[in-house]
Structure 1
Amino acid sequence: MLALQLTVFILLFYGTCGFSRSFFYLFNHCNPPEELVGKFCATLLDNDVNDDGIVDGNDVAIDTLPYNYDEDLCVTDLWEVVTRWSCRYGFSEEYGRYMYRFFDVNGDGRATADDFGAFNMTNADFLMMQYTRFKNPYCGDTKNRVSPLDKRQCDEVDKLKPEDIKCPNYIRL
């Protein structure tokens, strides 16, 4: 009986005190880059799947496979995007919700492979798009600077210049 009580206590405590994210990160290999440029580079690394210097609709559709937390490979839900963007890249949950609209391009409430068909850009353009999207429309809106994480990352992006956004040569793991 004591073991059951301790189990219930641990589940309630960790689930309500914000520690559940720590356990999720531990079990889902969450290790986001610390610096913002690293976050942008991680998105590039994940999205140029075939390493051809071009991020296209096929690359992006394949990149969404690790977003699959509910075993439905055909649809990427909002919560899966939020989880992936906060876990893998280290952005806020608010930014994950913001990014979902770029996954559900046709606005039907379901992000599917059909949403990524027309996507095609060089790695340099993709990287610059990540920086510009975060700096201007997201951080440019003061309501997106409320959470401590967003405030810190928006302050960091304010100090960056386009020429600062470079990824070192990387080895695909």
Structure 2
Amino acid sequence: MIALQLTVFTLLICGTCGFSGYWFNMFNHCNPPEQMLGKFCAALLDNDVNGDGRVDGKDIGFDMLYYNYDDDLCTTQKWEFLTRWTCRYGYSGEYARFVSALFSSGGAGDFSSFNMSSDAFLSMQYVRFKNGYCGDPKNRENPIDRVQCAEVDELQPQDVKCA
């Protein structure tokens, strides 16, 4: 029992000091919601950091700190983005690459002018997944995507609300 307590203590202390930050972060926040609505709400929770009902560039900038798995705060590598989206939200690697490509191609790396209501942010999550991703039949071939696309097909826009 004492060995377990020492291990947990060491991981917490050293993980926050950067000694084993990589491993600490890999296991931190890796319990994705099972349902699609939960995934959308987790994204809202992560991106409305100050809880003011708006997602803005400052909130997104703070959330991007959780994408850091290699202790380099200046750049987010593609593998870090993929790890966050598959681990934290439970999306398939294919969907994570899809979103990564959207952010990369559109110059979305600068979120300073980003500002939308929580409802609009949730709607954007839903529409991007349902129409942008699942709207292409080739994106329904992966077993994870097949299940998640079927689930999001059953959702109506008015159902996309977080309690």
Conserved in 1, the CA contact under 8 Å of 2:47 and 2:60?
A: yes
Query: Where does residue 90 of structure 1 map in the other structure?
Result: 90
TM-score between the two structures when normalised by the length of structure 2: 0.80
Give distance in 1, aligned partners of 2:37 and 2:96: 17
Deviations 1:35-83 (A, max 9, x none): 0000000000000011111100111111010100111111111111110
1:57 aligns with 2:57: yes
SS of structure 2 residue aligned to 1:89: coil
Q: Which residue of 1 aligns with 2:71?
A: 71
- Structure 2 gap ranges (5+): 1-22
The aligned residue for residue 81 of structure 1 is 81
Question: Unaligned 5+ residue runs, structure 1?
Answer: 1-22, 169-173
Match of 1:117 in 2: 112
Distance 2:66 2:25 in 1: 14
- Number of paired residues? 141
Query: C-alpha root-mean-square deviation of aligned residues, in Å?
Result: 2.1
**Residue of 140, 161, 164 corresponding to 2:156:** 161
Quick one: percent identity of the two aligned structures? Answer: 61
Q: Secondary structure at the match of 1:155?
A: helix
Counterpart of 1:98, as a letter, is F
Q: Secondary structure at the match of 2:116?
A: strand
